[in-house]
Structure 1
């Protein structure tokens, strides 16, 4: 599970950058657990009744819902570029929604873990291709920072999933950063033989044979 404080600060900083160049009327952030589950919804300038209706009844009709793009590599989707059915059009019209830009922040393996919905009401024009390109630029600029924190925040999950010790997690981080065994030994103040033993234990627990397979597993 991602750190709530990091998600809040990251989302706010991203929105602040966007607001400098684009007109927006509100936004929604949420954490994505899996293809069927999101949680930790936080809304700004979105009516609570409309959000409740969306989450309880309309999310399944949303063409840019995270569920539709969970297993794809799309980062940004504009609602106006998709066909809405009558049910969702009625929802949009009643709540004066002109368009939404749905942004999916993903881990290195492609799984989305943070969603951001940026909303324009019907007093504004829909998002343009130029707007989408601008959002994509902001996304790319923030991606490395997001990866760094997502990698760090995944440590507990990785340790639990593969029964890795604290020392093995420390060695794993160094391996994923491309550091050779000799330098890892120096960084962690261990002998080279000890590091090699840790590496072999990591490979056995994760069921891989070499560093290339390790990188493919966690950083693909």
Structure 2
């Protein structure tokens, strides 16, 4: 069994951020940490993403920075080389899964169907990203999986808001949710780190459900 990721994220919400300018990465991470959310997923959607991961790794020791939108073995290599301490993918293939496993850092492969969940469980993977959460069935879908697939745990991401997060966190198979609302683009563009810290504090105060208890995870 591989080390757990979801309980190690340090809060009920994993901030999912799109960094357009790496110069803002360090104050962003500091604001999130100050607000009680030490983990941050920097999505590999912009040219600045890898530089942002490098900067946070080097200058914010209290942060646990990971790479999101990891969709290829090359992206795995680049993210880990930049200092990413965990990996998140929107979906998975055999090749991508093998690369993430070989990377030596914890990872969350993305799923949206029962067959994908079962296939990962067969491979010893228990911690997964559920994406796109709202479009793929939302909290009702994950609630339906808890009975037949009790060992699977999910970090749902995609369309979740501060208002809907509680419904997910009340489920026994959801230790945390991924949220973009904690670091809205307007706040990042304006350098409004006080707003980010305030949103992080509100997110950190959300109560996680029974899924927060340790179970299995992947690396």
| TM-score, normalised via structure 1 length | 0.27
Structure with the bigger RCO (C-alpha within 8 Å, sep 6+) is 2
Larger Rg: 1
Query: Which has a greater percent of helix?
Result: 1
